[in-house]
Structure 1
């Protein structure tokens, strides 16, 4: 006699019965504006998504972003999708992504980056996406690396492979929020490392480094300098937002 599996038969059946009841009793609302979500929306409504100010290639914000990496040449090109506004809706999403376990938002934000990458002749030729790593103690405390979920979204849209463990954070650094430019650079000095077994993977590769927000560029630059030691062809930087 064939055994009916709970996981493959009963559980999906129960979900299909209970989900409409749950949505009727507890209708989903946008957590940013409290508008009831449509069937094709998740967590954030389309109106809120479209309200985030986008950065256009060549505009003043994009030019400012590129100026952050014009010094030592460790980063060849960079892009950010949105302008980071203090106390804005996007900041609220990124805060929940980092501190409230809302990892699905990271994937969604990564998909937005991925769509921009697909339209960029330079970025779409990338060989790998690498998240800016957290120190193991901070990752243990948080439970995940938000940049890795952003990378998952990028990889799903672009099919560029994700290498989440290739780059590690070698020293525990203090938060950058209250530091000036020179302090940030000093804080990030020798902060990252590539494991010996991963070094050959970098030779001749075009690497895309991914972070949630780029402010001064010191974190990305420190990572890029470390990757340059192992024969990468080029280092590109991508982020959800740029704090202008």
Structure 2
């Protein structure tokens, strides 16, 4: 055993890893304890073409398919996960969730015909404050598992909008209007894009992203995938 390995073992013994869902000490699990992993409220969106996710976009924007990996429940492991991931500097949680989410939907060929994964962008000011874009972490995890390329420089956030958290659906739509810019580095006409976000509530942000892409590339096809969907 070399010195580096020995130090890692000592650190792990003195500061054992804790479950990011309930904070109990982990023995051999990765990030989540067995109970929290088992209790994850996984959706069945990937099994049903018309679901509570796609219903958000009926009559608003045409998408090929849409799904969330988890149901967002307050006071549960998902809320704890999302809080630590988004505000706790834990980028790796997003990659972990992306890997698991990809493994789930791969069983039904959800990634079939997808050409590129595009995360919902974060304005450079917010990204500088937070240190990273949480959607990029999720996209990275999906990309790693599926081997579908991920691009972070096609769709850009040019308007530093206020938080969507306490806004109504109409307020959310107005808040993100004209917030996104699409570059022309890659011709996306006739390409199938998977836009990914962290949590979908009203769908306003995803809708704005899709419409921005469709305006520049009328022939583009859009699908969506998020970590979680909030209860309506």
Provide the TM-score with structure 2 as the length reference: 0.91
CA displacement at 1:122 relative to structure 2: 4.7
Would you say the 8 A contact 1:203–1:231 is kept in 2?
yes
Provide the TM-score with structure 1 as the length reference: 0.87
Number of equivalences? 229
Q: Establish whether residue 25 from structure 1 lines up as the match of residue 11 from structure 2.
A: no
CA displacement at 1:59 relative to structure 2: 8.6
CA–CA separation in structure 2 for the residues paired with 1:140 and 1:59: 38
| 1:12-161 mapped onto 2 (5 Å cutoff) | 13-39=2-28, 41-57=29-45, 63-161=51-149
| More helix, by proportion | 1
Secondary structure at 1:162 match in 2: coil
Show CA shifts across 1:53-92 (max 9, x none): 11113899x7222110111333222011110012221111
Show CA shifts across 1:81-114 (max 9, x none): 1100122211111111111111110001111221
Would you say the 8 A contact 2:21–2:78 is kept in 1?
no
Name the counterpart of 1:219.
Answer: 205
Structure of larger gyration radius: 1
Q: Establish whether residue 182 from structure 1 lines up as the match of residue 170 from structure 2.
A: yes
Name the counterpart of 1:8.
Answer: none
Would you say the 8 A contact 2:19–2:25 is kept in 1?
yes
CA displacement at 1:233 relative to structure 2: 3.2
Name the counterpart of 1:237.
Answer: 224
Unaligned runs of 5+ residues in structure 2 are none
Secondary structure at 1:52 match in 2: coil
Runs ≥4 residues deviating over 3 A: 57-60, 120-123
Unaligned runs of 5+ residues in structure 1 are 1-11
